[in-house]
Amino acid sequence: MFLTKYQERMLNGEMGEAISKSFELIVKLGDLNDADKLIPIKNAQIAGVSYYTVGESIFSFLELFSKDKIKVKVPSWLNPAGMDTVKWKEMGISEDFAEKQNRIIKYYMDMGIELTLTCTPYLIGYEPSFGENLSWSESSAVSVANGYYGARTNREGAPLALASAVIGLTANYGLHMNENRMPKVIIDVQTEIKHFSDYSALGYWYGKNFKGLIPYFKGLKESSVDQIKMLAAAMAASGSVAHFHIENQTPESKLVDLGYIEENFEFLVEDKKSVYSIFQQTKEQADLVAIGCPHTSVDDLKKISSIVGDKTLRKGTDFWIFSSKKELETPGSKSIINQLENKGIRIFTDTCMVVSPTIRDNYENIITNSTKAAFYLTRKGQNKVNLQSLEEISMEVFE
């Protein structure tokens, strides 16, 4: 890989150990993937925040950057933590966990990284622009950035995204290159995709069956970013799919060469039902309804409030919604939040059901409208999850 003389100096340690280690990580991965050079990035989105998922090992890693007083070179944002940083006691988080979580967050803050603590930066004013290069590590956000916005980012590991944020560069390979952004499979959607959970089911089915391959969807109606985030998150979770195209909707759909297509398949009503059947794991009353994987928007909250109407939450079932602080500061959102909270619904920020220990440890039977959440919550076998639409959830847990 070609490096400028200045880049070689950074790699060789003349700017400090943290810069050198960051360069080394990016260069090694670039060499493994036959990258020809380093390219500048517009911004970075960094995972590896929740103490629940990263554990004690994160502290020695972050101390390296703290020791050299490193600041990021590009605008950078954080993924969700393992708790709501304000209402963590309400979530049942221990003081020891909270102390360690706050230490991790402070390390990132001292580096100049914005404490967004969300998996959906594009909902809070950070929409990527077409064609710009990024270094994002949250899998669902990566897929949305590439597919819905037409930006360019590989699915970066948390250390690599941080390294890119520190030096402002990434290696030129993978989805940064035109030839690697072409679809391999056409999926003709032959059944109604109406609910958020339907988009999630389609994404889960695709990822499970066509791992890593870029799809070209036909037959999908015009979709909102809130619907697309459900599709993208599910594909990323079940099959590490980092990019997609939707006919006549996504920015690159008219630019791609369909000559790269290797296979054509249909998504039928039977396929959709098969996903719902996978996540129909309990007939007992739910302990918890968990919504917000990916994080909910204010439009999502309005939809939930409209569906619930004047109903009252059934005793014995908790209802938690996860979002971001900045999204909930949207003008007009306070009244919606109050309406939901008055019905017994709790709204938490900074975290989600996947990266917080409190969900797995305190609830057994869970309902969600997200196959990403269902996929991760059931991996260790301690939780049972039912996948339902918001409308079905309202009928089951409200009276």
Residue 324, helix vs strand vs coil: coil
At residue 374, the pLDDT reads 97
Q: What is the mean pLDDT of residues 363-391?
A: 95
Q: 156 phi and psi, to 5 degrees?
A: -85, 145
In contact, 288 and 318? CB cutoff 8 Å: yes
Amino acid sitting at position 175: L
For residue 258, name the pLDDT band (cuts at 50, 70, 90): confident
Q: Across all residues in the chain, what is the average pLDDT? A: 96
At residue 35, the pLDDT reads 97
Classify the C-alpha dihedral 30-34-38-43 as positive or negative: negative
Q: Is the peptide bond before 294 cis (omega within 30 degrees of 0)?
A: yes
pLDDT surpassing 90 at residue 275: yes
Tokens 């990323």 sit on residue? 236
Domains of the chain and CATH, by start? 5-177 (3.30.499), 182-275 (no CATH), 279-397 (3.30.499.10)
Q: What is the mean pLDDT of residues 266-291?
A: 97
pLDDT surpassing 80 at residue 260: no
